[in-house]
């Protein structure tokens, strides 16, 4: 397949970097086709691929991290299958130029968009499953995420900031945080949320801004966690764990 000639997709039977050749090249073409392009697109294949990816990632973690509890396994799996990770894989495979997008998506840089790149990786996994069966899809998933599994950080470091803040507060019997949206700005397609995290009288409230309420809350929780760790480090009666110091 030649990335400089997207029309060649319909005749191609594989993606460079993925050790699999399609018996039905139409499945590969469909896996690379966004809804905006018209015709058969990748969303149904993405649905399949998402489930397969989660299953194989769960299997790998179950065998590789034999002593990890369920919560830690879930956090590690989330890191392996999140959009950020899948988009990184797509960029390494240089999938962007192969994508079949409508003119609007092309003009807006859809071939660079994280969500689309992640969707296409899942769609390719689904297409391989339909074309070659479970073992073929499983093998490709292992090839794509195996090295990333080996490089996963400690499970404690994978906890999101809100979880880490809440656990730190609970460990010391302190009041739990309250998150509130102070302001929303921007057009519907470019919203910004300003969120405050308050922990009673323990710390001054902290604020953070992001493109979604969830991301803003996580950013505010990260700032509050850092401030709380520093405060507790100077209070001998409230010891701080090593994992918290490493935040």
Contact 134, 20 (CB under 8 A): no
Domain stops at, among 87, 119, 152: 152
Burial of 39 (0-12, 13-18, 19+ CB in 10 A): exposed
Report pLDDT for 179.
Answer: 97
Instruction: Write out the two tokens for 45.
Output: 């294949």
> Does residue 187 share a domain with residue 140?
no
Cα angle 99-100-104, degrees, rounded to a multiple of 5: 110
CATH of the domain at 67: 1.10.1520.10
Indicate whether 101 and 189 sit together in one domain: no
**Residue 191: CA count within 13 A, CB half-sphere:** 13
The residue from 152, 175, 195 where one domain ends is 152
Do residues 19 and 135 both lie within one domain?
yes
Contact 149, 143 (CB under 8 A): no
Statement to judge: residues 140 and 48 lie in one domain? yes
State residue 113's pLDDT score: 85
- Residue 212: its pLDDT value, please? 93
27 is a domain residue: yes
Domains held by the chain: number? 2
In this structure, are 97 and 117 located in the same domain?
Answer: yes
Q: How far apart are CA 185 and CA 69, in angstroms?
A: 41
163 and 94 housed in the same domain: no
Same domain, 143 and 22: yes
pLDDT means per 10 residues in the chain (247 residues)?
Answer: 46 87 95 91 96 97 91 90 94 91 80 89 98 97 92 78 91 92 89 94 92 94 93 64 49
Q: Considering 98, 129, 152, which residue would you say is the last residue of a domain?
A: 152
**Residue 23, SS3?**
coil
pLDDT of residue 237: 57
Catalytic residues: 50, 122
* 1 in a structural domain: no
The C-alpha atoms of residue 26 and residue 19 are separated, in whole angstroms, by 18
Do both 133 and 49 map to the same domain? Answer: yes
* Structure confidence at residue 107 (pLDDT): 78
Question: Does residue 97 sit in the same domain as residue 177?
Answer: no
Alpha helices in 108-241 (DSSP H): 114-132, 134-150, 161-171, 213-233
Boundaries of domain holding 91: 6-152
Same-domain check for residues 146 and 174: no
CATH of the domain at 233: 3.30.160.20
109: in domain: yes
Helix (H) or strand (E) holding 159: none
pLDDT at 32: 94
Residues 34 and 75 in one domain: yes
Do 75 and 107 belong together in one domain? Answer: yes
């Amino acid at each position: 397949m030649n990335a400089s000639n997207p029309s060649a997709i319909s005749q191609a039977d594989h993606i460079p970097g993925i050790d699999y050749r399609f018996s039905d090249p139409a499945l590969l073409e469909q896996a690379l086709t966004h809804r905006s392009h018209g015709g058969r697109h990748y969303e149904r294949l993405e649905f399949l691929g998402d489930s397969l990816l989660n299953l194989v990632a769960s299997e790998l973690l179950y065998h590789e991290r034999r002593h990890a509890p369920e919560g830690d396994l879930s956090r590690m799996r989330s890191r392996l299958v999140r959009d950020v990770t899948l988009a990184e894989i797509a960029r390494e495979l240089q999938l962007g130029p192969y994508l079949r997008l409508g003119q609007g998506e092309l003009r807006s840089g859809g071939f660079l968009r994280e969500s689309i790149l992640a969707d296409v990786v899942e769609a390719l996994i689904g297409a391989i499953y339909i074309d070659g069966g479970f073992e073929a899809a499983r093998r490709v998933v292992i090839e794509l995420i195996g090295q990333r599994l080996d490089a996963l950080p400690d499970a404690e470091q994978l906890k999101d900031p809100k979880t880490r803040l809440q656990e730190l507060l609970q460990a010391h019997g302190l009041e739990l945080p309250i998150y509130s949206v102070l302001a929303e700005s921007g057009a519907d397609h470019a919203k910004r949320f300003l969120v405050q995290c308050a922990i009673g009288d323990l710390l001054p409230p902290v604020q953070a801004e992001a493109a979604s309420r969830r991301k803003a809350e996580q950013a505010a929780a990260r700032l509050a966690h850092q401030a709380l760790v520093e405060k507790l480090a100077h209070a001998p009666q409230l010891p701080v764990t090593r994992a918290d110091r490493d935040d």
